[in-house]
Structure 1
């Protein structure tokens, strides 16, 4: 039994991690512009324009970290900014307030408010209206999926689902909070309780799978590696979206445990990583390129 403890700890740490921290120099070379979208010091984002001139679709990236840690500066990995701006997309990476000083509801609102900040300057930033994809990893996957299935967050920010083209949750595992708390890794239970509490009604309200009845964002691409709880959760969210008539694709990639969970985020944008081509093809379809 003792030999199984490290493996359990490895799996349980999944949603606590963002990606392997990487130096920020690659992003800085792209001349990011930083914005504040609220009064809190964490309500900030970095924006990189597309490599070409003229209006471009926008990818808004949301970091993970178990809802209580993580940062926009080390969560995008070494490839995303260069790859996606080179593909003709603007790219932004968002910080948001963290648990326990903020609630998950406030975090989801931060994502919507950050997007509103950018879209208010769409002309100056060369962002094409209506062509926005929300992308998030781990806890960030839960947050973008929540914004994409519960319209109240965008509505409060003065936006609607007409303002976004799609959502890409990357290897999340809390799309159905109560199910994840019931059969997810034991080592994560304190984190889940801290983020989502014990009230079943609140847990349901914060579960994208439970909120997936229409209206939803127009399209979803669910990415995951081979973690049992992550696969279960992605399959259930896929089914709920299909039942609502929402366009959804789900794609699994090699990789297990913490290593796979980190790799899919760190290497997305690497031409040699298989998820990169899958995302590129989906983005081209959704953006109509």
Structure 2
């Protein structure tokens, strides 16, 4: 495998008039990896993708795809990449196979080569049962599978997935996750933008977090969670009426998540600076006060908590 990164960004800047969408970001993605690009709305995720896909030109800095500059060698870069946006770009009046054929012809494929490639994609994405059905009649998850398959007709080196599970139900989202995992196994480099932290935690080899056009954190999901700080103690109460008393009993611990009004059994999350020792002390205090607990335990910070901590918007 080539040692040249699939994606290489250095000091990338994009301005729209007086507004800075990207303030000079830099990162690399190795070939065959999945990078999760995270951040709140307006953080610069989609701008980064459009610059890499040659749909826009950077204001300053550089970006390369498989060693090729996205500005100076834009035509060559477009042959190496493919992009799916937040919403499936399909003709809903055509069947799944017909959509694949259209994308193939638009990229110069035809005849037996296109037919063979479509057959491969139908098998790879498990589209056999819907291949001849009108796309408009398919589920959201299945439409997204067809959309991603269309982006792979030309066998790109790098695939950009811009929030691919937006608007999908949990079952359809899980199906797309399986699809992305399959892309990694096939050796395709994937840059995935998403606001679903569970999605990035499950799929990404590395994560880059953006906020206001700047990188606020980068690393593996495990490393980012470890750097977020101490573990937390989760306490789930049997009775909501005990909430105030528990807050008093555990007042020496930092409360990081208060219970929601909708919870039948209130769940409180406290910082646990001393790990299981903190949990043991909490159990002793609650037991001594006769507080009935449904569950209590120690866990490491979630990627959601890392995300909120690092991308918190301040006035």
With the length of structure 2 as denominator, give the TM-score of the two structures. 0.27
With the length of structure 1 as denominator, give the TM-score of the two structures. 0.29
Bigger radius of gyration among the two: 2
Larger helix percent: 1
Larger strand percent: 2
